[in-house]
Amino acid sequence: MNTTNSPPLLRWVKSSYSTDNGGACVEWAPAHASNNGVVPVRDSKRPTGPVLLVSTDAFAGLVALARSAEL
């Protein structure tokens, strides 16, 4: 796991678990993940803020946790 500023030229996708009314807005860059095996994750409300870089296995664990949580 690593944090950095947003790598340039990434195509960000908002998580389907995020809401349009300012709720937990998480974005990730799937093309970068496919090409590099590392998943960039950021807060969509802070597009120039820090980016969390996680392994694809760690990201899969985060998705599984989100799916199992009661919302």
Model pTM score: 0.71
Question: For every one of its 71 residues, what pLDDT tens digit does the chain have, with 9 covering 90 and above?
Answer: 555 555 557 888 887 666 666 566 889 998 888 888 899 999 888 888 899 999 999 999 988 988 887 65
Check if the beta carbon of residue 63 is closer than 8 Å to that of residue 56: no
Q: Which of these, 39, 65, 42, 63, lies nearest to 53 by C-alpha position?
A: 39
Q: How many domains does the chain have?
A: 1
Q: Which domain holds residue 28?
A: 2-68
